[in-house]
């Protein structure tokens, strides 16, 4: 009888042990293997080229503000930005350093339309996601984020010729000579101007999307062509305030002479509000950099993304709109009034993108 009780007890203990082991094994297998479902915190770098104007500085500030928050949220492990200038080889070297540092993604504004293709494609072949913005990169391996630059130029020229009644003399301020964006905007502008033979381009120059450079260009153009009479200004952007100052210096009524201006700097919006300019603006929004970070993260997380993503261009067409929506009285003249989109998709603040 004792033997039977012992045997029964042993069987019960074995059964309890088996159930216990089975239960423990089930709980363990329900836990995902390390890294199998949790999203990785990525490292992302921004390779900028030219940094000599407020727009580029705005891009850098927006990148830092947005990625700093993503680091705090654990989406990113690290973010880094460098500006190599207009030196193609210097930017190639910077990108190679980023590759060596093990960045998962690189967003970039390239110094050349084609000069960096090889190093960017090499980065992709090494498993790095590359997203180019502002300056288009013609490669099937690289993602591009931009506004429609040909349309950008077209809408500016279209507004101007209509504001001028289809005839008159104009000065044409472009961006950076040889730059892909300038080339596309020029194409868009020319597509309109060719249909208006009574619009005469008296002179043109490259303002580099910069106030001081545009001031110098306008000084030279006004000296050379003012005697012929100027009825309009076609500008890619970045130097609008300098254009207004130059015209007023030469006695032009800026409430009547139409100016098509391609950026939304605060100094220009202030001129519009206070002087009642006859103008229209569109812009290349600096938050393209934040949209590019989002594209890189989507690709890294396995989403299928189109190689070309177009972002809508902001516009302003009236003094009242400039006053109510864009002008920022508390900010300096170089502040980019189009610092975020209508929905503030990236939850940015003015204090973050324009640090004192």
Other Cβ atoms within 10 Å of 222 Cβ, number: 20
Phi then psi for residue 144, to 5 deg, are -120, 140
Which helix H or strand E contains 216, and what residues bound it? helix 211-225
Distance CA 147, CA 133 (A): 9
CATH of domain 149-282: 3.40.50.2300
Q: Which residues of 46-55 are buried (b: 16+ CB within 10 A; e: fewer)?
A: bbbbbbbbbb
Contacts of 111 (CB under 8 A, 6+ apart): 49, 50, 84, 85, 86, 87, 88, 91, 135
Contacts of 205 (CB under 8 A, 6+ apart): 172, 173, 174, 217, 218, 220, 221
Q: How many residues does the chain have?
A: 356
* Residue-by-residue pLDDT tens, the chain, 356 positions: 433 333 444 333 343 333 333 333 322 222 223 333 456 899 999 999 988 778 889 999 999 999 999 999 999 999 999 999 889 999 999 999 999 999 999 999 998 878 999 999 999 999 999 999 998 898 999 999 999 999 999 999 999 999 999 999 999 999 989 887 899 999 999 999 999 999 999 999 999 988 999 999 999 999 999 999 999 999 999 899 999 999 999 999 999 999 999 999 999 999 999 999 999 999 999 999 999 999 999 999 999 999 999 999 999 999 999 999 999 999 999 899 999 999 999 999 999 998 87
pLDDT of residue 16: 38
> How do 279-282 and 315-316 pair as beta strands?
antiparallel
Nearest to 159 by CA among 43, 7, 262: 262
Query: CATH 3.40.50.2300 in the chain, residues?
Result: 42-147+286-312, 149-282
Q: Is the dihedral of CA 99, 104, 110, 114 positive or negative?
A: positive
**Residue 81's beta-bridge partner residues?**
46
CA dihedral (191, 195, 196, 200) in degrees, to 10, reads 50
142 close to 132: Cβ distance less than 8 angstroms: yes
Q: Is the dihedral of CA 216, 221, 224, 226 positive or negative?
A: negative
Burial label, 4 (beta-carbon count in 10 A; 0-12, 13-18, 19+): exposed
Distance CA 326, CA 266 (A): 8
Question: CATH for 42-147+286-312, among 3.40.50.720, 2.60.40.1180, 3.40.50.2300, 2.40.430.10?
Answer: 3.40.50.2300
pLDDT of residue 86: 84
- Does the predicted model carry a pTM greater than 0.85? no
């Amino acid at each position: 009888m004792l033997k039977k009780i012992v045997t029964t007890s042993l069987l019960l203990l074995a059964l309890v042990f088996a159930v216990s082991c089975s239960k423990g094994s089930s709980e363990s297998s329900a836990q995902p293997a390390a890294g199998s479902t949790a999203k990785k915190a990525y490292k992302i770098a921004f390779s900028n080229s030219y940094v000599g104007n407020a727009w580029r500085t705005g891009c850098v500030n927006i990148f830092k503000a947005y990625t700093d928050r993503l680091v705090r949220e654990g989406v990113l492990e690290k973010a880094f930005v460098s500006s190599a200038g207009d030196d193609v080889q210097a930017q190639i070297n910077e990108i190679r350093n980023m590759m060596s540092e093990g960045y998962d993604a690189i967003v970039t504004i390239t110094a050349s339309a084609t000069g960096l293709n090889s190093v960017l494609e090499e980065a992709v072949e090494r498993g790095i996601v590359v997203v180019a913005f502002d300056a288009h990169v013609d490669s099937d391996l690289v993602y591009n984020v931009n506004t429609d630059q040909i349309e950008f130029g077209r809408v500016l020229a279209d507004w101007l010729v209509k504001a001028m009644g289809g005839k008159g003399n104009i000065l044409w301020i472009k961006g950076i000579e040889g730059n892909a964006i300038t080339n596309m905007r020029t194409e868009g502008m020319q597509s309109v101007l060719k249909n208006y033979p009574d619009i005469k381009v008296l002179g043109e120059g490259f303002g580099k999307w910069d106030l001081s450079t545009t001031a110098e260009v306008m000084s030279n153009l006004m000296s050379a062509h003012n005697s012929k009479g100027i009825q309009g200004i076609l500008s890619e952007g970045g130097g609008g305030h300098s254009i207004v100052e130059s015209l007023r210096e030469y006695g032009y009524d800026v409430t009547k002479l139409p100016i098509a201006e391609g950026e939304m700097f605060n100094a220009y919006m202030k001129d519009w509000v206070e002087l009642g300019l006859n103008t229209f603006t569109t812009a290349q929004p600096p938050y393209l950099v934040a949209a590019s970070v989002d594209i890189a993260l989507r690709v890294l997380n396995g989403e299928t993304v189109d190689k070309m993503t177009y972002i809508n261009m902001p516009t302003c067409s009236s003094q009242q709109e400039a006053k109510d929506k864009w002008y920022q009285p508390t900010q300096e003249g170089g502040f980019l009034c189009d610092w975020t989109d209508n929905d503030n998709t990236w939850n940015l603040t003015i204090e973050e993108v324009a640090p004192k």
